[in-house]
């Protein structure tokens, strides 16, 4: 069979409304008067201020804009081109751009699917080669570069094109699915132009300039402002995105967003898109997160995270009132896992964790983010409300179970493409905050697969398959294969959803 190939552009992951908007409005004939100038008398984007006739006769000087900034940073930005083997094992989970926008009632469900590699006539078949394009940027003169994990995930080969048009081969040093970051390395030169991550937190309203490879148009520059910080978009347990309104589109994935000093304030990774294109709501992985992750990827090729070993829930106003708390803040412990660092430190169900090393804990997600940034083995002090009494305990953090095996080809978030096929990606429940410690969590659902037809959603927890307790993707595969070998065409699964625990009989199909 002859190999086939097709090309598209890796896109920021997207929140898609259940109904795609068909009309893109444009407005002409509007005029704008700028009543105040920027610092030093400059006008943003070169918009002309109201002037007197005498002033209008004077030649324009010091025209505002970002040209000097762009000239400084643009040579450090690269276009990333990947080739992926589109056979059934990976192709079953590859999503056609925009094809599933009407499949989900929850727009956040789209975040757990990978976008950007377009295949004709549905899913790719065996022996196809899929090509995709994204963005990235050098962070050192010897060729280390940052991009998104979803740009290089499953890539057979990676090529980068620099601003001067030179093409280089790159290798993947390490990836981190939980933050959607990847580190790649280009050999052959020691004097690449590079950029640095910002040490300062961006402020809402600050200017931001994005440079990348949208739709394969490398070296494209867009500008806007920081619209918000600390966004939780339902993409993962450590969501803490910077929201920007500089337009980013397919192919911008993995590219940098700069402040006016030329430092990277975030890595472009996701967009809100009811229309399929940019509507001025983009999301960036913050520089502070990227610096920590990239440093570990460079050092070890994978990321290790601190682990407390508790299942937690938010503190509601009613819970706070019942416990005598003045504010509904902190994370309430549902259940410390047996043998976990938390259990060894005496933390019990019903305790409320209110601070980590003196820093207040806002909610359960805030606790997960804080602990994940700490190294395994680190000693942390937790402020606890225990049966109405405040106390402080010291906990030696463990290592997030199976975290680095995931990046070395383990079965964390492993897909179940194979024989038989359900169209699911799964991760052990203990590795996903708020999912408990039993079973496996659904992290992605193929809308064309049998599981989707039977109501499976991202976040569901599979506890039992064919009468067998499951704790990882390998257990699920084994149970499915056992059912197939016994001549069955469906398998009974016990599933915990947000509302209840139920049994579901799911037919499975063979991969061709």
Question: Which pLDDT value is given to residue 63?
Answer: 54
CATH number listed for the domain at residues 411-507 = 2.30.42.10
Q: What are phi and psi of 369, to 5 degrees?
A: -65, -45
Single out the catalytic residue among 101, 253, 340, 372: 253
- Do residues 45 and 286 make contact, with C-beta atoms less than 8 angstroms apart? no
Question: Which pLDDT value is given to residue 456?
Answer: 86
- How many angstroms separate the CA atoms of 290 and 295, rounded? 8
- Which of 38-42, 226-230, 414-418 has the highest mean predicted lDDT (pLDDT)? 226-230
Residue 298 has pLDDT above 90, yes or no: yes
Residue 144 has pLDDT above 70, yes or no: yes
Q: Is 150 a known active-site residue?
A: yes
- How many angstroms separate the CA atoms of 127 and 122, rounded? 15
Single out the catalytic residue among 109, 180, 240, 351: 180
DSSP H stretches of helix in 25-113: 53-57, 67-73, 88-91
Single out the catalytic residue among 150, 404, 412, 421: 150
pLDDT digits (tens, 9 = 90+) for 226-250: 999 998 887 777 788 999 999 999 9
pLDDT digits (tens, 9 = 90+) for 95-130: 322 222 333 333 333 433 333 333 334 444 445 677
Question: Which pLDDT value is given to residue 10?
Answer: 64
pLDDT digits (tens, 9 = 90+) for 439-487: 999 887 766 677 877 888 888 899 998 888 999 888 888 888 888 788 7
Give the CATH superfamily of 306-399: PDZ domain (2.30.42.10)
Q: Is 245 a known active-site residue?
A: no
Residue 29 has pLDDT above 60, yes or no: no
- The string of DSSP codes covering 352-421 is EEEEETTEEP-SHHHHHHHHHTSPTT-EEEEEEEETTEEEEEEEE-EEPTTHHHHHTT-STTEE--SSSB
Q: Is 180 a known active-site residue?
A: yes
Task: Select the more confidently predicted residue: 249 or 14.
Answer: 249
Using the structure block, give the residue that is written with the tokens 């010291």: 394
Question: Which pLDDT value is given to residue 485?
Answer: 81
> Residue 11: pLDDT band by 50, 70, 90 thresholds?
low
- How many angstroms separate the CA atoms of 200 and 38, rounded? 21
Compute the average pLDDT of residues 133-149: 97
Angle CA(309)–CA(355)–CA(391) in degrees, nearest 5?
90
User: 169 forms bridges with which residues in the sheet?
Assistant: 159
Using the structure block, give the residue that is written with the tokens 């070169």: 46
Question: Which pLDDT value is given to residue 42?
Answer: 31
Name the DSSP letter for residue 216. Answer: G
Question: Which pLDDT value is given to residue 90?
Answer: 40
Task: Select the more confidently predicted residue: 6 or 256.
Answer: 256
Give Cβ neighbours of residue 53 (< 8 Å, ≥ 6 apart).
none
Residue 360 has pLDDT above 80, yes or no: yes
Compute the average pLDDT of residues 35-50: 32
Question: Which pLDDT value is given to residue 109?
Answer: 36
CATH number listed for the domain at residues 1-21+62-304 = 2.40.10.120
Three-state DSSP state, 429: helix
Name the DSSP letter for residue 168. Answer: E
Residue 2 has pLDDT above 60, yes or no: no
pLDDT digits (tens, 9 = 90+) for 55-87: 444 444 455 799 999 999 999 999 999 998 755
> Residue 366: pLDDT band by 50, 70, 90 thresholds?
confident
Out of 61-65, 167-171, 292-296, which region has the weakest mean confidence (pLDDT)? 61-65
> Residue 182: pLDDT band by 50, 70, 90 thresholds?
very high
- Do residues 104 and 445 make contact, with C-beta atoms less than 8 angstroms apart? no
Using the structure block, give the residue that is written with the tokens 């064309």: 448
pTM of the model: 0.63
Q: In which residue ranges of the chain is CATH 2.30.42.10 found?
A: 306-399, 411-507
Out of 260-274, 410-424, 486-500, which region has the weakest mean confidence (pLDDT)? 410-424
Task: Select the more confidently predicted residue: 368 or 5.
Answer: 368
The CA-to-CA distance between both ends of the chain, in Å, stands at 14
Name the DSSP letter for residue 320. Answer: H
Mean pLDDT of the chain: 77
- Token digits of residue 327: 């504010």
Q: In which residue ranges of the chain is CATH 2.40.10.120 found?
A: 1-21+62-304
Question: Which pLDDT value is given to residue 420?
Answer: 60
- Token digits of residue 409: 């080809």
């Amino acid at each position: 069979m002859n190999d086939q190939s097709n090309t598209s552009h890796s896109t920021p992951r997207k929140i898609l409304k259940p109904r795609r908007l068909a009309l893109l409005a444009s407005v002409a004939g509007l005029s704008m008067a700028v009543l105040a100038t920027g610092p030093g008398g400059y006008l943003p984007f070169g918009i002309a201020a109201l002037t007197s006739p005498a002033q209008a006769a004077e030649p324009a000087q010091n025209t505002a804009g970002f040209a000097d900034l762009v000239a400084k940073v643009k040579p450090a930005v690269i276009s990333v081109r990947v080739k992926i083997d589109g056979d059934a094992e990976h192709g079953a989970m590859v999503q056609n751009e925009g094809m599933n926008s009407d499949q989900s009632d929850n727009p956040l469900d789209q975040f757990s699917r990978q976008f950007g590699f377009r295949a004709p006539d549905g899913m790719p078949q065996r022996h196809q080669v899929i090509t995709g394009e994204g963005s990235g940027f050098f962070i050192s003169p010897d060729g280390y570069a940052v991009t998104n994990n979803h740009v290089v995930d499953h890539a057979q080969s990676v090529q980068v094109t620099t601003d001067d048009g030179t093409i280089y081969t790159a290798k993947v040093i390490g990836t981190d699915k939980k933050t959607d970051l990847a580190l790649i390395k280009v050999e052959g030169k020691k004097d690449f132009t590079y950029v640095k991550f910002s040490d300062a937190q961006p402020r809402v309203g600050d200017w931001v300039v994005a440079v990348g490879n949208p739709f394969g148009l490398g070296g494209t520059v867009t500008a806007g402002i920081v619209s918000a910080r600390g966004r939780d978009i339902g993409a993962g347990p450590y969501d803490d995105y910077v929201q920007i309104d500089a337009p980013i589109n397919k192919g911008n994935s993995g590219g940098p967003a700069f402040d006016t000093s030329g430092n990277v304030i975030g890595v472009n990774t996701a967009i809100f898109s009811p229309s399929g294109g940019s509507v001025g709501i983009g999301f960036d992985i913050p520089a502070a997160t990227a610096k920590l992750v990239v440093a570990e990827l460079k050092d070890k090729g994978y990321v290790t995270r601190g682990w407390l070993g508790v299942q937690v829930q938010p503190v509601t106003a009613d819970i706070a009132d019942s416990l005598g708390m003045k504010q509904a803040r902190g994370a309430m412990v549902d259940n410390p896992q047996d043998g976990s660092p938390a259990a060894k430190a005496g933390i019990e169900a019903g305790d409320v964790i209110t601070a980590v090393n003196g820093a207040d804990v806002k909610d359960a997600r805030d606790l997960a983010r804080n602990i994940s940034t700490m190294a395994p083995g680190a000693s942390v002090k937790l402020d606890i409300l225990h049966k109405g009494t405040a106390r402080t305990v010291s906990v030696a953090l463990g290592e997030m179970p199976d975290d680095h095996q995931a990046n070395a080809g383990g079965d964390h978030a492993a897909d179940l493409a194979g024989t038989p096929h359900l169209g699911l990606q799964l991760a052990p429940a203990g590795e996903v905050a708020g999912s408990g410690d039993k079973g496996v969590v659904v992290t992605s659902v193929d809308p064309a697969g049998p599981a989707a037809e039977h109501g499976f959603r991202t976040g569901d927890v599979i506890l039992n398959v064919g009468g067998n307790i499951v704790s990882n993707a390998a257990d699920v595969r084994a149970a499915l294969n056992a059912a197939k070998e016994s001549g069955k065409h469906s398998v009974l699964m016990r599933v915990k959803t947000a509302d209840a625990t139920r049994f579901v009989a799911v037919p499975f199909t063979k991969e061709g």
